[in-house]
Amino acid sequence: MLYIVATPIGNLGEITYRAVETLKSVDFIAAEDTRHTGELLNKYGIKKPLISYHKFSEKASTGAILERLEKGQNGALVSDAGMPLISDPGSALVDALVEKGLEYTVVSGACACINALVLSGLDCSSFLMCGFLPDKAGERNKFMDKVADVESTLVFYCPPHDVEANLEFLFERLGDRKVSVVREISKIHEQVIRGRLGSLPPFTVKGEMVIVVEKAKSKADRLMGLSVKEHVKHYMSLGYDKKEAIKKTAADRKVAKSEIYAETLSL
């Protein structure tokens, strides 16, 4: 059995009893950074063989882990912080486990995405975990084309050296939506900076950060924000003739067609 174990995202005390007991019971631990994980293990008096498993060694390390599991050993997979696989290594290993029919389970715990979402003060009923924005401009814009109109709160991970550029990019693509920047989650200096994209108050750029952005307005809300002429033009741009565009606009706005017609004589 492989246990995928969530570890603290800041405060080392934020780890479950089950996670500690699991790490004590397994035969080996696969860690993103063995030195970093060593500090956590030392705190809880855990001494186990460590295997390096990071994004540059996923494929190479997967074979060694599978070999141990197939010999009957139990193992644990941990990342530097939070839940493995969530913008952290682990997917290659899970793919291999599924392919070979080997069992794995999850030991619950902290996840920066969830903490930041709750701390943000924005809608938690539906959200999209976007992870880290792509580095290349082209890929970044293609990604935003997919998520910009999603009617769910957007959650982005962000290293401190990218936060200003990322906020500027999000403002360019999403406009002045509400936003919260959450930093130093669960640590002494935990901070939530709330405002709007393009007009956030100054804050200390230090520590790993999560940017949480207000969801897109519904299609109906976006259309109602247009002028009557713009509303009709929207439908005409989709291929409707003027008569049908006026009819659909009137239905959206719950007014008589004649009222819309009177305002669009010049179209």
* pLDDT tens for each residue of 45-89: 999 999 999 988 888 899 999 999 999 999 999 999 999 999 999
Counting as low any pLDDT under 50, the low residues of the chain are none
Which residues fall within 8 angstroms of residue 217, CB to CB, at 6 or more apart? 151, 225
Return phi, psi of residue 156, to 5°.
-120, 135
Of 250, 254, 255, the C-alpha closest to 232 is 250
Query: What are the two backbone dihedrals, phi and then psi, of residue 266, each rounded to the nearest 5 degrees?
Result: -80, -10
Domain limits, the chain: 2-110, 113-216, 220-263
Any idea which fold 2-110 has? Cobalt-precorrin-4 Transmethylase; domain 1 (3.40.1010)
Closest CA to 78 of 102, 101, 56, 110: 110
Distance CA 9, CA 210 (A): 12
Report pLDDT digits (tens) over 180-196: 999 999 999 999 999 99
Query: CA 135, 138, 141, 143 torsion: positive or negative?
Result: negative
CA-to-CA distance for 241 and 228, rounded, in angstroms?
16
Alpha carbon separation from 266 to 214, 242, 243, 251, 262 (Å, rounded): 37, 11, 13, 21, 9
Q: Phi and psi at residue 242, in whole multiples of 5°?
A: -60, -40
Q: Which two tokens stand for residue 114?
A: 């969830």
| Exposure string over 133-169, b if 16+ CB within 10 A, otherwise e | beeeeeeeeeebeebeeeeebbbbbbeeebbeebbeb
pLDDT at 227 (0 to 100): 86
pLDDT for position 259? 86
The angle subtended at Cα 105 by Cα 129 and Cα 91, nearest 5°, is 50
User: Residue 52 is which amino acid?
Assistant: S
Q: Is residue 3 within 8 Å of 107, Cβ to Cβ? A: yes
Report in angstroms the alpha-carbon separations of 196 from 7, 41, 176, 181: 32, 40, 6, 10
- Region 113-216: CATH code: 3.30.950.10
| The pLDDT value given to residue 10 | 87
